[in-house]
Amino acid sequence: MNSNFFSVILAGGVGSRFWPASTQAHPKQFHDILGTGRTLIQQTFDRVKRICPADNILISTSADYIKEVKTQLPEIPPSNIMAEPARRNTAPAIAYAVYKIFAKNPDASVLICPSDHLILKEAEFERIARLGLSLSQTSDVLLTIGIKPTRPDTGYGYIQYLPGPSIHPEIRKVKTFTEKPNKELAKMFLDSGDFLWNAGIFIWSVKACRSAFKKHLPEIHQTFERGLQYFNTNKETEYIAKVYPSCENQSVDYGIMEKADNVHVIPADLSWSDLGTWGSLYDHLAWDDCGNARVGKHIFTHDTCKNIISIEGNKVAVIDGLNEYIIVDTPHALLICRRENEQLIKNFVNVVKIKAGDQFV
User: Are 256 and 342 within one domain?
Assistant: no
CA–CA gap between residue 1 and residue 53 (Å, rounded): 7
Domain closes at, from 273, 308, 343: 273
- Of the listed ranges 34-43, 73-82, 234-243, the least confidently predicted one is 34-43
Q: Is residue 280 part of a domain?
A: no
Q: What is the rounded radius of gyration, in angstroms, for the C-alpha atoms of the chain?
A: 21
Task: Output the pLDDT for position 283.
Answer: 83
Domain closes at, from 242, 273, 304: 273
Q: How many residues are there in the chain?
A: 361
Which residues, other chains included, contact 289 with Cβ-Cβ below 8 Å and sequence gap of 6+?
none
Report percent pLDDT > 70 for the chain: 100
Give yes or no for residue 279 having a pLDDT over 90. no
User: Are 314 and 182 within one domain?
Assistant: no
Q: Mean pLDDT across the stretch 21-37?
A: 90
Q: Is residue 139 part of a domain?
A: yes
Summary mean pLDDT of the chain: 95
User: Are 210 and 70 within one domain?
Assistant: yes
User: Are 208 and 256 within one domain?
Assistant: yes
Which residues, other chains included, contact 201 with Cβ-Cβ below 8 Å and sequence gap of 6+?
111, 112, 113, 114, 144, 145
Task: Output the pLDDT for position 284.
Answer: 83
Task: Output the pLDDT for position 99.
Answer: 98
User: Are 79 and 139 within one domain?
Assistant: yes
Give yes or no for residue 71 having a pLDDT over 90. yes
Give yes or no for residue 212 having a pLDDT over 90. yes
pTM of the model as a whole? 0.93
pLDDT 10s digits, 137-195: 999 999 999 999 999 988 899 999 999 999 999 999 999 999 989 999 999 999 999 99
Domain closes at, from 252, 273, 294: 273
Task: Output the pLDDT for position 205.
Answer: 98
**Range of 355's domain?**
286-360
Task: Output the pLDDT for position 1.
Answer: 81
Task: Output the pLDDT for position 154.
Answer: 87
Give yes or no for residue 234 having a pLDDT over 90. yes
pLDDT band at 343, cuts 50/70/90? confident
Task: Output the pLDDT for position 281.
Answer: 85
**What is the helix (H) or strand (E) element at residue 197, kind and residue range?**
strand 195-205
Give one DSSP letter per residue of 94-109, joined into a string. Answer: HHHHHHHHHHH-TT-E
